[in-house]
Amino acid sequence: MVISSLKMFSLISIVFLTMLLVKSSFAVATNENRNVSKLTLIQKLDDVIKAEESLGRNQKKVQELKDAREQYLETLKDIDLMRNKIAVLKEKIEAQNNQQNNISLNNKQRDSRSNYAIQTGSFVDLEEAQKQFDLILQILKGKKFSFLRIEKIGKYYTVRLGKFSDSNAAKQFIVAVIPEFSNADIRKAYIKKARIIKINTGSE
């Protein structure tokens, strides 16, 4: 009867522990607050293994329990490894999001400083840009204007004029002050000191 009771206990223990192993592994992977103590499970497995070994029989069951113990430990290692990978991935995603947010913020700040400018020409040769700059300066002599400049944008030397709050103001300036450049482009831009080759801030 004692041996029979121990066998029954062993069978029940195997089923119970198997359910606990599956349940606890799932809990570890999905919700740490419902995690079953790893140490407690291992201790229970060790106690059952010792009980089976003390009977001196059924080595197959003992080996199955030992295999279950090793498999559980491997599962815990895999879960820890996966958790570390998820943490690293999360950090990368957060870093990318922060970088994107910084770019968006910089763009917004840049847009808030942007204005409209009249672009009268764009040249590969700096000398040609300077000629146009001097010509416009002569036309504007005695008139109010602001920020006549040559900017180095890429490989081109661009002649731009003004710092207008909107495109209509720029159009009105062309009609009233420099009709000679009626075909000039009106561009949304911002004044960047690093690009300035030459500038006359004007008398406005």
Residue-wise pLDDT tens digits, 121-169: 999 999 999 999 999 999 998 888 989 999 999 999 999 999 898 999 9
Class of 114-202 in CATH: alpha beta
Lowest mean pLDDT among 1-15, 74-88, 108-122, 190-204: 1-15
CA 143 to chain centre: 50
pLDDT at 38 > cutoff 70: no
- In this structure, which amino acid lies at residue 202? G
Mean pLDDT of 160-186: 91
Mean pLDDT of 187-193: 86
CA dist 158 → 139, 141, 150, 186 (Å): 18, 21, 5, 13
At 1 the pLDDT is 46
